[in-house]
Each structure stands twice: as structure tokens, then as C-alpha cells.
Chains A and B, each alone.
Chain A
Amino acid sequence: MANIDLDKMLAKVKSSQWALADIDWDAPGADLITEEQWPKLKAFMADLMWIEHVGARGFAAMAKKAPDDTLKQIYTYFHAEEQRHANAEMALMKRWGMLDGDELPEPNKNLKLVIQWLDKYSDDMPLEVLGSVIPMLEIALDGALCTFLLDTVDDPVCHQAFARINDDESRHLGVGFHVLEMQGRGDLYIKALKTVATVLDPRLILGIASYVPLLNRMRDNVVAMGLSEEKLYACMKKFERIGGRTAQGRRNPWYQIISRHGRMVVNRDNRAYHAPVDLMVRLTDYIPERLMPSRVPTWVKGISYRPTA
């Protein structure tokens, strides 16, 4: 099993910190972005940046729920690191001239809904839910999108930044799967009961309603960028493979739910799933602006492309 020593992990995390100032954002190579790439890349980067930011908020909620001090500290660092990734990605956008002045790019509507949900309810969710969803988001979206980016973009600064980001993410995933397995230990019956009880929580249903279309929207965006969707699916299957490699991991009901859901997402022939979800994505676009959450939570404003402040 992915049994890692959390104390050693915390020490490793502390010693592996980097800053935006470590990268020369004005180094040559920005012009390697082709004109054709530019508009799609802009939308893509904005989504990516927001996903990192949303992931960061997820870790903040997990830090509150962590069962021991070491894990709590690790999550506190991960929260900051996800924010750092968002900052670095924003710095790349700045470098590529994709920012409208100093403005933060608008999140798409599905992300807006997710942000709203995270802000309102994530602190109330049990660690099991976030502990399972976050690795999925990380592996599917972060992992797949980053690989794709490095395959298509030649700018050396982009590679430099993502080498560091991926390094951090590998630690996030290590801990993610460790916790997934940790929570798989113990009485299955109690866990199943707890899971059912949590699923019945209307706050979680709202969360699912935000998360599910987000995945499909990201798939559409990825396809629009020219990435074969199989690459995304390959990453999502990785969740099932790594999370399910031990009995403990498989015994975690949330692992079961998330990975089964992943299978449905990957299977395009499953019309029973995709038709309504795609509809949800399209419907989200029709939500009039005035009905969208108008209040932007303060944590959203914390992103910055500037290495110094």
C-alpha cells in the first residue's frame, strides 16, 4: 500500500519550497506560442488556473478536518502550494499577454458554481468526501492538462514552471492516495452508513451538481484544444488503478463512488450519463448572469502573477 511516513513527507514538503521569483518570467521563448494556439491556450490556461485555485480551497477545508497535526500541516502547505501553482500559471498568462491588464481572468460558469459551493459548504464536508474528490480532480484535470500543455507548448519557461508544479503535485497525489487508503481501514458497515448519510446531505448533492458538469466541460475544452480525450481518460483511470491497488483503498466507499463515476465519464457510449450531464453543461451557459452568484469570496482575490508584493 502507499504507506508513506507523513512526518517525513512534511519535512520533504518544507524543504522543497520554491517561489515565483526563482523563475525568470521575462526569459526568451514567449514568442514560441503560435498565433493559432494563442486564443485556445488563453481559455485553457484560465481554466487550469482556476482549477488549481479551487483545489487550493479544497485543501484548506481538508486542513480543518485533518485527524492529526502532521496531516493538518501538510494540507496547510498543499493549500499554499496549489495557490502557488495558480499564481505561476497566471504569471505564464501574463508572459504570453493573455491577461486583460492586471485583471484576473473570469472563471467559466461551472467553475463559478464550484467556487460558490466550496466557499459555502466545503468546510462542512467530511474529510472522506474531499479526500476522494481532490485526488480525482488533481489526477484528472491537473495531471492530464499539464501533460497536454507540455506536449503542445514549446516555451522553455512554461516547461520550467511545470517541472516544479508537477514535482509538487506528485507529493499531493502521494498523500492523497495515502489518505484514501487510511480511510479505507476499519468497519466497512459504518463507513457505508456514513457514506449514505453524507450522500443524502443536500449540500453534497449541490456539490455533485457542480462537480459533475465541470468534468464534462473540461473534457469539451480539452477536445477543443486538440487533445485526444483518451489522454484525459487515461489519467482518470490512473485514479482507479492507484487508489484501488490495496484492499484498504478499495474498501473506501468514496473511492468506489468516485472511480465508478470516473468510469461513466470515460465511457462516451453511456448516454444515460452523458446526455443529461452535457445538457447540464449547456444549461449552465444559459444561467443568466444576474442569477449567477454575484458575491465573489475574498479567497478568490488572493491570486497574483507578481513574484514580489
Chain B
Amino acid sequence: MSNENEQNQNTTAPAPAAKKKKAATRKAAARPAAKKAAVKRKATARKKAVAAKSSRRSDAQSKRNAVKEASVVIVGAGFAGLGMAIRLRQAGVDDFVLLERADKVGGTWRDNTYPGAACDIPSHLYSYSFAPNPHWSRHFSGSAEILGYIEHLVKQYGLRDKIHFQQDVTDARFDETKGQWRVDTRQGDVWQGRAVVMAQGPLSNASFPDIEGLTDFKGKRIHSARWDHDYDFSGKRVAVIGTGASAVQIIPELAKTAGTLKVFQRTPAWVIPRPDYATPDWNKALFEKLPLTRKAMRQALYWTHETMALAVIWNSPLTRLAERLSLTHLRSQVKDDWMRRQLTPDFRIGCKRVLLSNDYYPALQRDNVDLITWPIARIAENGVRTCDGIEHQFDCIVFATGFDVPKSGTPFPIRGLNGRELGEEWSGGARAYKSVSVAGYPNLFFTFGPNSGPGHNSALVYMEAQLDYAVEGIRRILDHDLKILDVRESVQQRHNRHLQKRLARTNWNSGCKSWYLTEDGYNATMYPGFASQYRRQMSRFVDQHYRRVPQTGSA
């Protein structure tokens, strides 16, 4: 829990500074003659403050905290950060560092170790095509095996020395005179890089629901992404709050050990069968000896998932078919008609994440398991009070309530040209160009940035496209010695108008509430198209779309 608290402090920190800045800007605009002078004064003052701050810091802390330099600073050592490192190295860029806030690599797969944790995308597709693994033990691998794959990447590509652990980034600012990013960490270290890659992951901060009395509960509280493996569930009275992607994996496992298990559901999701199986040894051997067969498998999976876009992203006859498949699954697994009613979604399939499970519905019908669909009134000292007036008492409450997905902010203050702050600009919803670049924030590359999420295909397919795009940008900065490579505002605006127009016609924007949308219903998360369309878009780095300032020239 400490992690997300820290993170929250981070995200709220820039607000007062931003307000002051706004006020200063307004004043300057009122007196155009004094504008330049004011901006200059402000910039000087800021630089002085930063300098004073950093000198204070270096005085107070040890001398080892001198500014460290690298061509590329990568924030995060999960799938994205490590993939970036590999692609950079393969492109001949070796001067990079990875800053990781934890003491292990793996990101979301290091954090999500709850019982039953697994990926909903087949492993041969949920892995990097440039780092294939013929040995996946199952069609859908569990979190431990995926984490093993990530750790293997570190070894295989010799990345260990490039990773700096316990480096929790608190601030990133662009120095336009030098064309360099300065990255500060909570530990007091300062990093400088010609380019920064944001690979902190969208699902890295655990989120607790907004329920009254959350902290009043005296028993054990566990978040799915911060599992306590020392807690013994056997014979305990356990609650699971949430019925999303993590919950449907946790519930069947907990049902086996807990004394009683009560599942609190707000909105039922669409659940479809999970075609999982253990890969036989001959098959693994075949994949290893004949890489073409593994590639063919990946291609087959890729195109199967691409077709699913027609059901999940847009409303089509395939959407009805998918809904019918899910309802048949429900009917065949749940006998009681009231429970079936409780579990039947009332929104279009695809609007929220579609869940895959064969054992979720059977688990709910076990004698020791209850499905509770009454709204939760509050959490009390001994349990959960539902609106039907009953207090359900527990030894432990498991929160399978997902993550704070940054749709309208950044995990830490990011300051670009002229002191502009990205969190403030994104407060109404995040916007970027091709999900990677943001106008006004040069030499900065996002992975899993705005509107990069797939609803139907492997996130890593999208990720590869982003990594290669970022490599193109970074190569330009380094090879052409650019001080600034900044996407043009007009290009970014045009891109977003087009995106939002297309998003309006998707199932995500069809009326349900989901983590894809901001409170105001703005979709800053998903990409409205096939993975193939996304890849095609990313395969071209159009130089005219970017403003370039060479190191030696003037801005």
C-alpha cells in the first residue's frame, strides 16, 4: 500500500506549483511589454530554485548523488522498459539506463502474484516476437512463468548492469537550452538524458474503491496486486470485493481454501470460456526445432484475435454472436435462474473488458461461496454492510478492485517547454500523437500512452510497435544531434480529432462505465481499430510531423 500512497502524493504535488505558474502567466499576458522579461525572470528564478534545491539535496545527502548521464533514461523495468532496452541495443544504442522503483524487474507481473494470476492472452502472442520462447508450458501462462520470461530477457540481453533499482522517479523536466531531460528520484539521485522513455506501466498503482469506512475495518485487508503470501486463508471468513479480471482468477482459488467466501459484485461482466491447455512436450520440441511452426502459431493467434476486434470493438453481427457464446457459457455453468440473472451483464459485450474463465461460475456455486449483489453501504469495523441492512463479518477482505489508470494525469510531474506541466494539460483527459509523443514535451516517448490500449489483441503487439517507433525517434535525436524533436501541436490535434471521431462509434463509448473512460466519458485509453492498423500507423515516422532543432543551431 505504501507504494500507491507515495504515488498519490506524487501526483498531487504539482498542483500548487501549477496554479502559481498559471497566475504568473496570466499576469504576464496582461502586460505584453513586460511579458518576455517576466518569463525570463521566472525562468531564471526557477533555475536558481532548482539549482539551490539540488545543491541543498547534495549537501544533505551523500556526495555520490552527482548528476548521472545517459543518452536515454528509461523509467520502469517491466515489460515495456526492458523491451525498450533490448530494441535500443539492437539498434546500436547502448548508452541507456533503466530506473526501477522496486528492487526487482517485472512490473505488473512482479506485483500481481495473487493465487490464480495469469494472462488472458495466449503466451505465444503475449511475448516479444524479437525474443521468442518455445517453452511456454500452457496456452495461457501463469504470472510466475511470465515473470520468469521477463527475468530471462534481462539475462539473455545482459541488461542487469543497466538497471538501477530503488530509483523512484519523482520529477522529470526538460532543459531546452541543453536539450536534456533531468530526472529526479525519491532517493535523491539525479539523472540526465537526451531522451526519456516512459515505461512506468498503466497498471502499476493499486486502487481501492471509494467506499465509506474503508480504513475502519479491523481485520486483514489485501489488495490483489499486493498479495500477502504469508496470510493463511484456510478456514477464514473471506470477502472479495470486485468481479473484474483479477477477481475471476482469485475467486476459484480462494474458494478452495477459505472457510467461507463472499463475493461482492457491482456490475457483472461478460465471461467467455478460456481455451487453456498444457502444451505437450512434443509441441514444445517442435516449436524449438522448427521455429517456423512457432511463428505460424503466433500468426494464427494474432489473426484470430484480430477477428475478435469485429465483435469487441464495434457493434456488429459478431458482437451478438460473442454475447450468445457468453450467455450459453453462463447457462451451461449456472443452474439457478436468479443467479444467472445476477450474472447477466446489461451492457454490450466489449464495452468493458471481456473476461475469460472456466472455473469462475462453478466457484460461485460452491457451498462455501456466496455471491452478493446488494450495493455496499459501508465498511465497518468487522465487515461489509450492504444496503439490505446486513453486516457481513469477515476475517479478511480482498480488494480485487484494479488499478488507478492514469487517464487524466501523469505519475509524477513532467515539465516540458516553457515550464508547461503535462499533468495539468491532461487533467481533462490524456492526449498524445500516435500514443507516443506529446507536443511541448520534446525527446519524450511514452509506452502504453494515451489511446494505445487494445481490447481484443495482445498489448505486447502494440508495445512492439511503440518501441520501434521510439527507437526511430531516439535514433534521430542521437544520429542527427538534435536538441529538440517535438511533435507539432497541429499534427497532434488532427490525430486526436480523428481518434475521437472513430472512438465515438466503438463499443467502449456505448454507455457503460469502465476504466477506459474518464469521469466525463472521454476515452483516453483505447485505440479504435485493428492491431494491424495501429502497427501500420506506427511503422512510419513522418519527419514533417516533428519540429527539429539541432544542437548547434538556435531555437
Which A residues lie at the B interface, using CB under 8 A? 17-21, 64, 69, 76-77, 80-81, 83-84, 87-88, 119, 123, 297-299, 302, 304, 306-309
How far does the alpha carbon of A304 sit from the alpha carbon of B374 in the complex, in Å?
14
Given known pairs A298-B338, A298-B339, the reply for A309 and B389 (CB within 8 Å) is no
* Count of A-B contacts judged by CB separation below 8 Å: 64
Is B338 a contact of A297 with CB atoms below 8 Å?
Answer: yes
Is B390 a contact of A309 with CB atoms below 8 Å?
Answer: yes
| CB nearest neighbor in A for B390 | A309
How far does the alpha carbon of A210 sit from the alpha carbon of B478 in the complex, in Å?
80
| Most chain B beta carbons < 10 A, residue from A77, A123, A297, A309 | A309
Let me know if B89 is at the binding interface, CB within 8 A: no
Q: Which residues of B contact A308 (CB under 8 A)?
A: 382-383, 390-393
How far does the alpha carbon of A309 sit from the alpha carbon of B377 in the complex, in Å?
15
Is B377 a contact of A17 with CB atoms below 8 Å?
Answer: yes
Is A80 a contact of B387 with CB atoms below 8 Å?
Answer: yes
Q: Which residues of B contact A17 (CB under 8 A)?
A: 377-378, 385, 387
| CB nearest neighbor in A for B374 | A80
Is A19 a contact of B377 with CB atoms below 8 Å?
Answer: yes
Choose among B337, B390, B513 the residue that contacts A19 (Cβ–Cβ < 8 A).
Answer: B390
Is A84 a contact of B338 with CB atoms below 8 Å?
Answer: no
Choose among A19, A77, A298, A302 the residue that contacts B375 (Cβ–Cβ < 8 A).
Answer: A77
Let me know if B346 is at the binding interface, CB within 8 A: yes
Is A19 a contact of B389 with CB atoms below 8 Å?
Answer: yes
Is A297 a contact of B337 with CB atoms below 8 Å?
Answer: yes
Is A64 a contact of B388 with CB atoms below 8 Å?
Answer: no
| CB nearest neighbor in A for B346 | A64
Let me know if B185 is at the binding interface, CB within 8 A: no
Q: Which residues of B contact A81 (CB under 8 A)?
A: 387-388
> 16 other contacts beyond A119-B338, A298-B337, with CB at 8 A cut-off?
A17-B385, A19-B377, A19-B390, A21-B380, A21-B391, A69-B511, A76-B375, A77-B387, A80-B375, A83-B374, A84-B388, A297-B337, A304-B390, A307-B389, A308-B390, A308-B391
Give, as a whole number of angstroms, the nearest-CB distance from A291 to chain B.
Answer: 21
Q: Which residues of B contact A298 (CB under 8 A)?
A: 336-339
- Which 6 interchain pairs have the tightest Cβ spacing? A80-B387, A84-B389, A17-B377, A298-B338, A83-B388, A20-B389
Q: Which residues of A contact B339 (CB under 8 A)?
A: 298
How far does the alpha carbon of A80 sit from the alpha carbon of B389 in the complex, in Å?
8
Task: For chain B, residues 388 to 420, give those with C-beta under 8 angstroms from any C-beta of chain A.
Answer: 388-393
Is B338 a contact of A309 with CB atoms below 8 Å?
Answer: no
Is A87 a contact of B375 with CB atoms below 8 Å?
Answer: no
Q: Which residues of B contact A297 (CB under 8 A)?
A: 337-338
How far does the alpha carbon of A302 sit from the alpha carbon of B341 in the complex, in Å?
15
How far does the alpha carbon of A102 sit from the alpha carbon of B387 in the complex, in Å?
22
How far does the alpha carbon of A76 sit from the alpha carbon of B377 in the complex, in Å?
12
Task: For chain B, residues 481 to 518, give those with C-beta under 8 angstroms from any C-beta of chain A.
Answer: 511, 513
Q: Which residues of A contact B357 (CB under 8 A)?
A: none
How far does the alpha carbon of A20 sit from the alpha carbon of B374 in the complex, in Å?
15
Q: List 5 A-B contacts (CB under 8 A).
A: A20-B391, A21-B380, A77-B387, A87-B388, A308-B393
Task: For chain B, residues 218 to 273, give those with C-beta under 8 angstroms from any C-beta of chain A.
Answer: none
Give, as a whole number of angstroms, the nearest-CB distance from B6 to chain A.
Answer: 30
Give, as a whole number of angstroms, the nearest-CB distance from A59 to chain B.
Answer: 12
Q: Which residues of B contact A299 (CB under 8 A)?
A: 338
Let me know if B386 is at the binding interface, CB within 8 A: yes
Per-position 1/0 for B194-233, Cβ under 8 A of A: 0000000000000000000000000000000000000000
Q: Which residues of A contact B377 (CB under 8 A)?
A: 17, 19
| Most chain A beta carbons < 10 A, residue from B341, B382, B513 | B341
